[in-house]
Amino acid sequence: MLHRVLLATFAGFLCTGSATAATHQVMQVGLTFDPADITIEVGDTVEWIWSAGGHTVTEGTDDANPPLGDKLFDAPLALADPLFSYTFTEAGDVDYYCRPHLIFNMVGVIRVQQPTSTAEPPSIESWGRVKAGYR
């Protein structure tokens, strides 16, 4: 009976992991995103916050890559839309830019990593410690 409880507890830990989805903020400051390069985990949300002017938060490296209709996001960031948020569900680097200001290199990247708690399966040794740890 105790073994089943322990297994269920450990399985629950593996499924949920120990990380909680976080929210990261990127400010629009003049013709830059700040910070322009951030690393987050799968499941995290990024909020882009407007300060002045008219901008976009557009996935990719330019309007052709990927094509405008195929982008993960292409959102205005302006007085009328002062905040854009997006939750990243897959690992990988996601480039983005501001369409009117790409010529001024207004770009950024979100580096999405697998949560560290679930990146690797537990080793045999850690299983032993978990089982032995329940005195």
Instruction: Please report, as ranges, the residues that interact with Cu ion according to CB under 5 A.
Output: 55, 98, 101, 106
Closer residue to Cu ion in complex, CB, 47/122? 47
Least distance from Cu ion to the Cβ atom of residue 28, Å = 7
Closest CA relative to residue 96, chosen from 67, 74, 79: 74
Instruction: State in angstroms the smallest separation of the CB of 133 from Cu ion.
Output: 53
Nearer to Cu ion, 98 or 112 (CB): 98
Closest distance to Cu ion from the beta carbon of 31 (Å)? 6
- CB nearer Cu ion, residue 43 or residue 100: 100
Q: Is the Cβ of residue 42 or residue 75 nearer to Cu ion in the bound state? A: 75
Place of tokens 């507890």: 9
Helices (H), the chain: 2-16, 124-133
Beta-bridge partner residues of 30 = none
Q: How far is the CB of 100 from Cu ion (least distance, A)?
A: 6
Cβ count within 10 A of residue 94: 19
**C-alpha–C-alpha distance, residues 94 and 42, integer Å:** 12
Q: Could you give phi then psi for residue 43, rounded to 5 degrees?
A: 100, -15
